[in-house]
Structure 1
């Protein structure tokens, strides 16, 4: 779309049309997130167990999380660049399509018993998980500063429906997979492939006009300059972006590390797949369901206060998981629920800081670049978690993650001091 496009001009000239597009964008993104949530839950729930089954070693059980989060890092960069140039619609569709290809590749790898294809497919599958996370930004493109936390939260809370349903369908999907000659643990990836494809198609078909392109045109109209003002970018790369990025990176590292090894930990204590699916389903629900409240709290009480709350909540999750009994399902549920809530607080407060401190000239690119580091943090957490548990214990991993989350406090202190 060009600046003088009649459609763009009609939105520039009408505040009411802008408000309508903002609401419509939130609805479309939320609808797509229902499918996206179902897709991302597969890797979380059975990725480590599938690798353990195929490789016959626990030390590499954290590798799937590392691979698909590493793949999501590359996808975050590419989706961010594509969105900056062509709009959210194109960038998000291509990201979800790549995630679907990866999910179906995992299924094929399980059928063939190919570890190489499994690792390659998990890497590509990461594009879907990354794109699902980046979709949260689409709702903020036309939001005012006081609406941004809420806009992020509405997009995220819709993920809950698919993300909670996915883990709780593990047994059913396993039976379905066996009925068509596919290993049971690959069943959730069949759902993931279909879900990612549907999420991408919803955005590609319905997200018209593109909210980011409209936001760019509005910014250009206001400033009297072209939207791609590359020289404006360094002015916005300051402590707000750094702080927002560090908040999300740290919460992602802690969450992925503990979450990745929980299914393996539960299997060692005799919990069946249904119980594992329940715990992970509650965890994923806690990651997304509180978002509506979190968005209000972030807008009402500030990004920094909620970032501190994230650190304290993650500490509680680590202490309960570390000192609690692995045989007690209630302990695991509470620990993983707090882990999800802490991640949610950190992600929404950090995302809001990023949006606050960027312009349309560099926003999508910056968001993509920040999500690269978030994904790398997840990859690090996933890769190291299996080694820590193999060399020490799940207790040590959980306690270390909880204590590490307290680093959020000096980060926000630095931000406030400089501010």
Structure 2
């Protein structure tokens, strides 16, 4: 396991801002490569997880179990990655997380071959580790970033995830052909891509993320003046971090619930895998590509206004999805694009709020705990989505998701008013 920087190393970094800036640039470069791979692995698997579950179980109503399984797995992984990072650094925490996700994807291939729903649920639970790790990687870019560049640092990790994430769904059909050529079920093909991408991301991080940015940041924090964010005992979160967590949880619930059932809805209407892959790739692209603009906006306009914009955008996504005619591929793509943009606003604004409110030595623990809540929210949204759609239809599900998301607007407005009030 990596050793922490010595006092002499910390003094050297503290005395040379250019050295810190150089390490930050190197860290972002490594994060970029790992996120391209991680994005491809995430998107390929999530595109077909519900379809494979429905195929093996023979029931569309059970397809929501796929999202529940991988989001519950990502909840446990977020906790473990956060604690591993706290103890050993980002390199070890993120590297092991991606490796576990790759193993889960390989088990998913075995489940497809065996036709076993229980084995698939176990595989998706472990595969969720890759999803959680890909999200946790956004924090690596903030470890050494200055406060006025934290939103931009998060955006670098997210926008490069899009390069792989947009490609992943569009490789679903070709990978299905590859799987068929190997004598495997076509829906197992995307998980072959996921396994290779996650294991490659793990290798990149374990090999190249040196010196470890979190360990350096913690050492610098110990050398410097008292932190602006006060240390809190136990598992308490500062008010800003708690509000950031609420923003991320509500956006995740809405995004996972609507996104998970969209492929099932389209499949029921007769759309093929190519059409499903196109809509999901538009959605995932809009989850990440706006980051180039969102990050600077979060830094300049503010965390709270962008969080409120997330709620409004997600409500619009639900409304468009609800009124889209069944055969309108274009309107479904618009709805899923808005869903991605709203999630992007909420994730970057919420992440910046968490980092702002948490001192460096405690950040991985707090970040891991919050991402557990985000993952559990997504698990609940994914598990409920199939049942809600069975009862209310896809339009009812979309409107319900938008209504949940818009609840974050009064939360952040109230927080801003309380923060501005005299002590």
Structure-2-length-normalised TM-score: 0.96
**Aligned residue among 161, 164, 167 for 1:162:** 164
Q: Which runs of 5+ in 2 are unaligned?
A: none
Q: Give the Cα separation in 2 of the matches to 1:100 and 1:373.
A: 23
Asked if the contact 1:177–1:183 (Cα under 8 Å) also holds between the matched residues in 2, the reply is yes
Q: Give the Cα separation in 2 of the matches to 1:57 and 1:192.
A: 25
Specify whether residues 416 and 231 from structure 1 end up closer, same or farther in structure 2 by C-alpha distance, changes over 3 A only.
closer
Instruction: For residue 150 of structure 1, report the CA deviation from its aligned partner.
Output: 0.1
Asked if the contact 2:111–2:120 (Cα under 8 Å) also holds between the matched residues in 1, the reply is yes
Q: Give the Cα separation in 2 of the matches to 1:9 and 1:198.
A: 34
Q: Give the Cα separation in 2 of the matches to 1:235 and 1:55.
A: 40
Q: Which residue is equivalent to 1:58?
A: 60
**In the alignment, does 2:299 pair up with 1:299?**
yes
Q: Give the Cα separation in 2 of the matches to 1:224 and 1:47.
A: 47
Instruction: For residue 142 of structure 1, report the CA deviation from its aligned partner.
Output: 0.3
Q: Give the Cα separation in 2 of the matches to 1:198 and 1:323.
A: 41
Q: Which residue is equivalent to 2:334?
A: 334
Asked if the contact 2:232–2:238 (Cα under 8 Å) also holds between the matched residues in 1, the reply is no
Q: Which residue is equivalent to 2:42?
A: 40
Instruction: For residue 314 of structure 1, report the CA deviation from its aligned partner.
Output: 0.4
Q: Which residue is equivalent to 1:258?
A: 258
**In the alignment, does 2:141 pair up with 1:139?**
yes
Could you give the per-residue CA deviations for residues 265-306 of structure 1, whole angstroms, max 9, x where no partner exists? 001111111000000001000000000100011001000000
Could you give the per-residue CA deviations for residues 246-275 of structure 1, whole angstroms, max 9, x where no partner exists? 000000000000000000100111111100
Asked if the contact 1:43–1:65 (Cα under 8 Å) also holds between the matched residues in 2, the reply is no
Which deviates more from structure 2 when the two are superposed, residues 345-354 or residues 108-117? 108-117
Structure-1-length-normalised TM-score: 0.97
**In the alignment, does 2:363 pair up with 1:363?**
yes
Which consecutive aligned stretches of 4+ in structure 1 deviate over 4 angstroms post-superposition? 5-9, 230-236
Could you give the per-residue CA deviations for residues 299-345 of structure 1, whole angstroms, max 9, x where no partner exists? 01000000111011101100000011121000000000000000000
Instruction: For residue 181 of structure 1, report the CA deviation from its aligned partner.
Output: 1.3
Q: Give the Cα separation in 2 of the matches to 1:118 and 1:333.
A: 29
Could you give the per-residue CA deviations for residues 148-200 of structure 1, whole angstroms, max 9, x where no partner exists? 00000001100001101010011100000011111101110100000001111
RMSD of aligned residue pairs (Cα, Å): 1.7
**SS in structure 2 at match of 1:355:** helix
Q: Which runs of 5+ in 1 are unaligned?
A: none
Asked if the contact 2:217–2:360 (Cα under 8 Å) also holds between the matched residues in 1, the reply is yes
Q: Give the Cα separation in 2 of the matches to 1:231 and 1:417.
A: 23
Specify whether residues 235 and 222 from structure 1 end up closer, same or farther in structure 2 by C-alpha distance, changes over 3 A only.
farther
